[in-house]
Amino acid sequence: MDSSPTSPSLRTRASGLLLHPTSLPGRHGSGDLGAEARAFIDFLVSASQRWWQMLPVGPPGYGESPYSAQSAFAGSPLLISPDALVDEGFIDEARAQPVVSSRASEVIDYPVMAEHRLGLLRRAFDRWCAEGNASLQNEYRAFVAKNDGWIDDFALFRALKGAAGGGPWTDWAPALRRRDADALEGARRSLRREIAFEKFAQFVFDRQWSALRRYAAARGVGLIGDIPIFVAHDSSDVWQDPDSFFLDEAGRTTYVAGVPPDYFSATGQRWGNPLYRWGRMKKTGYQWWAARLRAALARFDAVRIDHFIGFQRYWRIPAEEPTAIGGCWVKGPGADFFRAMKAELGELPLIAEDLGAVTPDVFALRDRFRFPGIKILQFAFGHDPYAYTFLPYNYPRRAVVYTGTHDNDTTVGWFRDEGGGWSTRTRAETEVERHAALRYLGTTGEEIHWDMMRAALSSVARVALFPLQDVLGLGSEARMNRPGVPTGNWLWRFEAGALTPAHAERLGGMTRTYGRAADRAARTAR
């Protein structure tokens, strides 16, 4: 009888941690898919955790945001492990020296880190071109053929972008901007080596990713990905298919995405992403979206859909508006979209990020396809009309509960927040929430992060997830993102040695107590 571990499903009572790979420690300026990622999986196993959730893993665009990737399909070359390149024979060990930066080890210095990592990757590419390897060359050709729907245009996009000094595609020569066939063919000839480098980078990313996923699966750990509903304007996706987006003849946006005033911002959030022409996408059976979800589900065991509300209705902002206040609600594709996806892909292990200005029809869409929604425990103690729905005694079983997400402050930071400044709450509001939390949790608040994790673990929600910052008990200095603030985000990483056996023992004990460990989940599932 096979007793090997199996990855959980969203129907399994389990728990896990939220951590983007860039936040891992390591020698090269940021985390990656190498040895530290495997060590983190080992920690998850030792703490009886069965999920590792990440942010989007595409090549980051504006502001280094993983939610503004240059492709909905590609992987980020910055996540490639230089040390694994050594192990695989792509570069010599002497070449893979640590990055040198003036910043503290728990803060990513993106310009320095990117230059360092891409320099090592180019050395690997040069060696690959010079020496070759018949087996790897065959593997490479099979990879390119398998991904022919996006990789050629993505590699050309990246090469053109590099040749243009990194500027957006709307600033390219008109013939390239409008994808004139002769201009593109000329670019493919003149940028042949750079295009080959971009394809090589994707090939190496895929090899390292596949190895990491196998390592996780062999230990019973599932990977949860994250798909932003909208894509970045300056992306190969929009440049490749401009007719599917609201753009003018020069490729500029005419309407952009965002959300109205909310918990995070009094003027709303003007994200700036181009909006889909859903009617045109429907005529193709939403084939681009089917390809996007197929690629994501080949990479992850489950996927969180960011801003699920946008499939039912989305906030449309005229591009000339400086904030989100001047937008309006527009109907999305609704159930028709998910019927098409199920017909194309079968089971959809998706988590619906159903937060924000949610209406009953959004919940109805979520429940019609039996997607688990999201509960944020930090939202349970304020004055929002929906706050009571985030209290654990109101959770349905088909839910994913977080203490907070990448957009929230850490639990310790949230609890200690005094209002004003960066905060979205007044001093009075923070006091009310603090006292409500203390009453509900029955605690003094000295270890508020453990109190909140215990409340989530003990709930009936099938999946409980925590940012690693909460396990470590870190404050606002470790916050990953401040929505609406364009700079200073996505920089946090934890230091080597910060995670200890004591953390694993305490978290694992709580996890087993509440029936979320692998050996107990089957007995408690409903």
Specify burial of residue 507 (Cβ count, 10 A radius: 0-12, 13-18, 19+): buried
Residues 6+ away with beta carbon under 8 Å from 91 = 82, 85, 120, 123, 124, 127
Pick the catalytic residue from 109, 353, 354, 451.
Answer: 353
- What values do phi and psi take at 100, rounded to 5? -115, 120
List Cβ<8 Å contacts ≥24 apart for 478-484. 478/106, 478/410, 478/413, 479/408, 479/409, 479/410, 479/413, 480/20, 480/23, 480/406, 480/407, 481/406, 481/407, 482/422, 483/264, 483/265, 483/269, 483/407, 484/264, 484/265, 484/267, 484/269
89 dihedral zone (left: phi>0; alpha: psi -120 to 50; beta): left
- Angle CA 159–165–168, to nearest 5: 80
- Under DSSP, the state recorded for 26 is -
Distance CA 129, CA 196 (A): 10
Find out whether 124 and 36 touch, Cβ atoms under 8 Å.
no
DSSP state string for 73-140: SPPPGGGS-HHHHHHTTSS-GGG-PPP--SS-TTB--HHHHHHHHHHHHHHHHHHHHHH--HHHHHHH
Pick the catalytic residue from 109, 306, 417, 433.
Answer: 306
Tell me the residue type at 51: W
Pick the catalytic residue from 407, 409, 433, 451.
Answer: 407
Q: Is 353 a catalytic residue?
A: yes
- What values do phi and psi take at 116, rounded to 5? -60, -50
Q: Is 407 a catalytic residue?
A: yes
Active-site residues, by number, are 306, 353, 407
